[in-house]
């Protein structure tokens, strides 16, 4: 029995509110249950120095938790003067996930930076970030295409992510904070619409797991991502 009363393969409600801020070229507030992340995609007509003159663009991401997104207040990274290893790990993952579905040549010599700021955390902030990041990116690219700045769509498919794990011996989908805190294994899958995998990460927290468990988690992830793909589709119209 899950603490939330959900069935093992039951997602929390997904909500995606696009256009949440007025300045960004693409934005949304994405919710997986009580986890809420504000995502903006910013288009800049400039490139990092190491990419200049190669005839292609760049997509990157930054991630942050507001200090009181969590149960107890965490120290602000800007005040500490550095980003934690966890923050850097997550923002690198978000960037890689987006680039898995973007043709950087078609994007042209410009950079899109996707900022994922967690407003409220209840487990799954990195997977909500990736799923929302695709929406913000899609909206920003739509704008570039509408303006005629991009000819061919550089985005080849949807990408979404979901966590799953083994909780008290049972593989479960979309862990909330309580489950996440005492799961035996904790996995994050980044899937591409159509069935392929962009990234799989599965970590034993309590007891190590076997190949069978890995496959069962992957199947749960497929079920979850199917629902996210649908919500993403509705959100971007």
Q: Is 35 annotated as a binding residue?
A: no
Choose the binding region for a second copy from 63-71, 123-131, 144-152, 165-173 (rule: CB under 8 A). 63-71
Q: How far apart are CA 167 and CA 170, in angstroms?
A: 5
Q: Which of 81, 148, 169, 237 lies at the binding interface for a second copy (CB under 8 A)?
A: 81
- Residue 71 contacts a second copy per CB under 8 A: yes
- Residue 60 contacts a second copy per CB under 8 A: no
- Residue 214 contacts a second copy per CB under 8 A: yes
Show the tokens assigned to 27.
């934005």
> Under DSSP, is residue 222 helix (H, G, I), strand (E, B) or coil?
helix
> Under DSSP, is residue 131 helix (H, G, I), strand (E, B) or coil?
helix
Choose the binding region for a second copy from 5-13, 50-58, 167-175, 188-196 (rule: CB under 8 A). 188-196
Show the tokens assigned to 136.
């913000």
Nearest distance from residue 186's CB to a second copy, in Å? Answer: 10
- Residue 87 contacts a second copy per CB under 8 A: yes
- Residue 4 contacts a second copy per CB under 8 A: no
Q: Is 53 annotated as a binding residue?
A: no
Q: How far apart are CA 186 and CA 184, in angstroms?
A: 7
**Span 107-146, contacts to a second copy by CB under 8 A:** 113, 115, 117, 119-121
Q: Which of 6, 96, 110, 216 lies at the binding interface for a second copy (CB under 8 A)?
A: 96
Q: Is 86 annotated as a binding residue?
A: yes
> Under DSSP, is residue 128 helix (H, G, I), strand (E, B) or coil?
helix
Nearest distance from residue 57's CB to a second copy, in Å? Answer: 15
DSSP-assigned letters across all residues of 74-116: PPPHHHHTS--HHHHHHHHHHHHHHHTTB-HHHH-S-EEEEEE
- Residue 16 contacts a second copy per CB under 8 A: no
Provide the sign of the torsion angle of the four alpha carbons 40, 44, 48, 52, taken in this order. Answer: positive
Give every CB contact of residue 163 below 8 A, 6+ residues apart in sequence.
Answer: 123, 124, 126, 127, 174, 175, 180, 186, 187, 188
Chain residues binding a second copy by CB under 8 A are 21-24, 27, 34, 38, 40, 42, 44, 62, 64, 66-73, 76-89, 91-92, 96, 100, 113, 115, 117, 119-121, 192, 195-204, 207-211, 214-215, 218
């Amino acid at each position: 029995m899950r603490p939330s009363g959900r069935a093992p393969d039951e997602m929390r409600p997904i909500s995606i509110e696009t256009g949440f801020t007025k300045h960004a070229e693409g934005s949304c507030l994405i919710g997986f249950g009580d986890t809420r992340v504000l995502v903006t995609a910013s288009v800049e007509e400039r490139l990092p120095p190491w990419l200049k003159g190669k005839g292609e663009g760049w997509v990157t991401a930054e991630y942050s938790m507001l200090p009181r997104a969590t149960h107890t207040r965490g120290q602000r990274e800007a005040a500490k003067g550095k980003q934690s290893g966890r923050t850097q790990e997550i923002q690198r993952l978000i960037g890689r996930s987006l680039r898995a579905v973007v043709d950087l040549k078609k994007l042209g010599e410009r950079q899109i930076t996707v900022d994922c700021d967690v407003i409220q955390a209840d487990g799954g902030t990195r997977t909500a970030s990736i799923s929302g990041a695709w929406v913000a990116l899609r909206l920003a690219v739509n704008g570039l295409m509408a303006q005629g700045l991009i000819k061919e769509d550089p985005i080849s498919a949807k990408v979404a992510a979901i966590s799953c794990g083994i909780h008290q011996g049972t593989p479960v989908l979309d862990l909330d904070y309580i489950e996440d805190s005492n799961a035996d294994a904790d996995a994050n899958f980044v899937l591409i619409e159509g069935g392929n995998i962009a990234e799989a990460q599965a970590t034993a927290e309590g007891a190590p797991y076997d190949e069978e468990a890995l496959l069962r988690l992957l199947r749960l992830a497929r079920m979850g991502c199917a629902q996210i793909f649908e919500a993403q589709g509705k959100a971007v119209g």
